[in-house]
Structures are given as C-alpha cells and as structure tokens.
Chains A and B, each alone.
Chain A
Amino acid sequence: MTNTEENDEDLLGRYARGDAAAFDQLYRRHELRVWRYLERNVRNQAASDDLLQEIWFAVARNAASLESVTRFKTHLFTLAHDRMTDSLRARATNASPAAAGRPAVPRDPANVLAQAIGQLPGEQREAYLLQIEGQLSVGDIAEITQSTVDTVQRRLHLARLKLQELLNEKT
C-alpha cells in the first residue's frame, strides 16, 4: 500500500457512507490473504470460500458500526479466526494433515507448502499464518487468538523451526 492509497479505515468509512466502490477496493486488497489464511487452516477450498463470503458479508453489514475500528485488518482477521474456529468446531473437523483436501501432487511447490503448513500444530499454524498472510504483529495475533504475546512468540518460533525442517525435506 503506497502513501497515495487510502488506508483501510478510510475505505471502510467511505463505504459506510454509501460508496460501494470503496468496498470493492477494500475487498480486493484483503481477499487473497484472508482466503489463504482460511484455506491453509481449514484445508478445504469450498469451506474457505463459504467462510470468506460470511466474513465479508459481516463486514458489509456492519460497516457503519466498524467505522470506529482503528485497525481494520486486525478486525478482519479476528472475524476470520472466529468464523473459522466455529466452523471447525461445528464440523468437528480435525485440521491435521490427514484431512488435507487438496489432492496430492508430488513435487508441486504449492502442494509442498500446503502439506508442510498442514503438518504444523494448529496453534502454531494459525499464529504463523496470521503473521505471514495477515502481516499482523505479535500483539495483534495474541489479541486475536486470545493468548499472550509470549505464547505467540513461542508458537511462531516453533512453527518456523518445524516449517524449515519440513520444507527442507520436501524440497
């Protein structure tokens, strides 16, 4: 995001005042990151699409009340985290690598990454994806996941170690 671009909060405010184009801009800015965060946690593309739709519906619906949000991105990923958690719990889905929905394609870089991410423990994977996809700070991640900063830092550290090991093996 360059300096000339409007920040998320301004776009949200414009949309709250009836500017639908501002919402489109906001959506395109965060669509892929949110979707990847969901898809690499849920390991199901269709479920990720549904969750993504629900999240953005909620944003559009509550835009007026979200005008006071100072960090839209944090709020967006909070929504994503909560929706995803509810979905996973409701379906009693095990987010383990065995539940990977993507067909295994050997030597496919994207699949290698997906498998490696899928093999991370859930809490570490979520923390890592929030940081790498959401570009959120440790404090924001701690707020979203309702944990402490120290816990998040530890999870991030362990996630990187594990991921490095897995990626080195597969690549």
Chain B
Amino acid sequence: MSKESPTQDQLSEVDDLYRRLSALDTGRPGEWVRRKVQAYAAQQAAERALRASAKAKGSSSSEAPRPTAATIPAAVEQTAKKPWLAAVAVGAIAAVALVGFLVVPHFMAPRDTREAAPSPAAVSQPETVTPAVAQAAAPDSSESVSPSPASPSLQSSAPAPATSSAPASATSPAPASAATPAPASAATPAPASATSPAPASATSPAPASAASSAPASATSPAPASAASSAPASATSHAPARVASSVSVPAATSPSASAASHAPASATSPASVPQSRATTSLTQTRDVPGTSVAPAPAVASGSAGKPPAQSPTQGRVARQNAGALHSAPNASGRAETTTQAARSTPPADSEPAPQTPPASSTDTQVASPPEATPSATQPARTPATAAANSSDELCLAAKSGDIRGLEAALASNVDVNALDTNGQTALVLAIQNNHVDIVRALLAHGANPNTANSRGLTPVRAARIRGNFAIVTALERNGRH
C-alpha cells in the first residue's frame, strides 16, 4: 500500500501538465454546498454535544440521590439549630403510636361483637348524615346503594364517603350473606371502613347476582356507575370496586341523582364505593342518570361494616333509604323507585360524553368492564396502518426476525416502503448483516436500488459493512 510515483519522466510530465492546466480551471463547488455542509455539521455537532451532556447528567443524577456521609451530618446539624424540630418529631411519633393503639384493637375485635351490639352512634349517624349527603353534598359526591337480597322491595341507600377507601373493603374477601338484610347504615368512620375487611357491598348482597357480586366485587365493574350518566362514573378510576356494591340502583336516592351531576366526585376514586339496596339487576341497568353517585362521607361507613348486620341496622338502613327517597332530588328528578329506574332509558342510550370510559353500563356483577373500542381506541387510518406495517417490517429486518418479517410481508406491506425513520427494510437488514433477511426481502420484490431517506443505497450499505455476500445477492437481483 505504498505510494508509488510514476517511474518514467515522460509520464511525470503529464502530471505536471495536468496540474498546470488544473490550476487554470476556475471551476469550484457551489457556495451553497459549503454553507449547507457546514450548517449540517454544526447541527450534528450540537446534537452530539447535547447527547453527551444528557448522558453526563444522567450518570450524575443517578449518583446524586444517594445520601452521602456529608449530607447526614448536615441534617443533624440543621436539627441541632432548630431544637423545636425534635419536639415536634417526638410528638408526631407519639400521636401516631396513640392512634395505632386506639384504632388497631378496634379493627382486631371480632365481628360478632360489633354485630351483636352496634353502637348507637353507628345507628343514628346514617340517619343524620344521609340527608345532608343527599342535599348538601350532592354536587361532589355520589351515593352508593347496597343491594338487599332479603328485601327486594327495600331500598336502602348507604352513602359512602367520597374519599373513602371503601374500594379496599370491596376487594376484601369477606362474602356477603344473601340472607342478611341490607344494612347500609354503616356509620363506621371512613378510616374504619378503609381498613375494614368487610366490603360495603358485602353487607347487602343482591339475592342472586348481588350475592355473587359481593366477593367478586373487586374485579367486577361498576355497573351502576357505568349506567349513570354522571361524569363521575365516567372518570372514576375504580369502576371495578364499584362492582362490589352491586351497583343496582333500584333504590335510587336523591343523592344518587344529585351525584350523577357531580363531576367532582367523578374524578375521585373513592366515589366508586357504593352500597345500594336493589331488587334486581335489570333495574340497575335501566337507571341511567341516577345511580352511582359517589357516596358521601357517611356512606363510607358501610364499607367497614361486616357482611352480616343486625336487624337493627337493617331497619336503620330502611329508614335511611326512606329519608333519601323522600329527600328532593338535586337534579329535580325524583328517581327513588325502581319503576322510575325501569322507565328510564338504558345506559347504553346515554350520550357518549356521559358514558364512562369503561362503558360498563351493565350491572352484572361478575361482568368485567366493557371498554368501548370507539371511545378508548382512536380510529386507525389506512395511512397509519401502512406506516405501522412498514415499521414492523423494518423492525423485523433490523432485528433479524425472519418470522416477524414473513408475518409483516404476509400483510401485503410495501417491501420498499420507508419507515417512520426514513429507512428501508433492505438497508436496515444490510446494515445489521442479516443475509437471510436480505435474501428474503429480495425474494419478495425488494428493490436493490431503493435508497433510504438519507440517500443510502443498499449496495452502499453493503459496501460499508463489507459484506460481499450481500453485494452479490443485490447484483443478482437487479442492482444496477
């Protein structure tokens, strides 16, 4: 590879003559070429520097969060400067410990004890709070009605707190006893319901479907909420939890209808937990706008209730339901009876914006949330579909996935199409030295002269890679 100069003087004179004549040649590359090249090079350099700085930041940030020996003494020193911080910390810890001692034993107590002797506060609380919920808290809360299998005609509503963690209780495995009348009273405070193993729905399961719904509530969608046109249900993040409440809005309470118009509760996941006394699942389906309002704070207590409740609680629930029925509807509609619910159009006929994303308009407890494809998935245009197909083809070509390539080719994708990065499958396969992919592409009609968006031809790519097997394959397939 050594440089060789012409040996003959005669021939060297030709070179001198060439140089003299070439010096007289005024031909030069266009100035625009220089500008474009320099601009492009500067851009590339800037991007490269940006990537390098980003990498440096990434590496430094990964090391930053670790507490170092220097930071810990600094924190201690800061605490020393503010002595009241230590007192506050000790007080907070003591408060937490006290709360733990007081609350935890309450949860650890056996259910029978609570069932046998319900506290008067628990009985009276629903009565006092429920109207307030139905009237005052209507805009930002949704009611939950627990199905009562024992009393089909009974329509008891048990409001649940909007912020209640009742969903947790809904997921509890505690089964609901169908024979037990729907208590729905549930004056249990929100925290209790949150940690209570008994779901709100469990206290009043529906006879046939509701009873099964109580245990399966965790996975079942929120039927009532879905049926309701309330935006709350539409945006609710816990439709499955609602399912536990069986969602049958047979006993549509005023608060329920009011809650249907409450978008605020819609966003709250806690709005889902509901317990309704319903008679039939069909009723729940038919109740469109009513239903599924997130239960107010009082309702959350029902979540903490044990599945089986005393008759006293059942009576309280009935009274509560009656109070709710008698209460005026916030929306001006009295949707308190199942007949009214039946008369209402099905949730499926609800306008699109009101339907929840889960679109679980059915009240079947065990039925999973049905996602409406039209609502959740954007329509795929032919252009995007073709782009995706070409992307899949190029991805398979790049990775050397012969099966994926064949699958993509089977979908009648244009084998010469550019992907979103402006690359062709053939060039990608060549760049990654996938000879079998190259041959497969050529066999399927890939043009060996089609360059990518950067002007890189397959042959050039093969030469850069130094793969002469690919070059030969290209030449055999019409590369010119």
Contacts and interface: CB of A to CB of B under 8 A. Distances in A.
Given A54-B455, A113-B18, A137 B1 contact: yes
Contacts of B40: 56-57, 60
Contacts of A113: 18, 21-22, 25
B25 A110 contact: yes
B460 A82 contact: yes
A16 to B, nearest CB: 7
A6 interface: no
A113 B36 CA distance: 29
A160 B14 contact: yes
B15 interface: yes
Contacts, number: 131
Contacts of A86: 457, 459-460
Interface residues of A, number: 55
Q: How large is the interface on B (under 10, 10 to 19, 20 to 34, 35 or more residues)?
A: 35 or more
Nearest to B47: A18
B113 interface: no
Interface string A130-148: 0010001111100100000
Secondary structure at chain B's binding surface: helix, strand, loop or mixed?
A: helix
B18 A31 contact: no
Given A132-B15, A163-B14, A163-B18, A24 B41 contact: yes
B11 interface: yes
Given A63-B44, A90-B449, A161-B11, A153 B4 contact: yes
A60 B457 contact: no
21 contacts: A36-B22, A36-B27, A45-B27, A45-B30, A52-B37, A53-B33, A54-B455, A60-B37, A82-B460, A86-B459, A86-B460, A102-B27, A110-B21, A110-B22, A132-B15, A138-B2, A163-B18, A164-B11, A164-B13, A164-B17, A171-B17
Interface of A: 15-20, 23-24, 27, 31-32, 35-36, 39, 45, 48-49, 52-54, 56-58, 60-61, 63-64, 82-83, 86, 89-90, 92, 102, 109-110, 112-114, 132, 136-140, 143, 153, 156-157, 160-161, 163-164, 167, 171
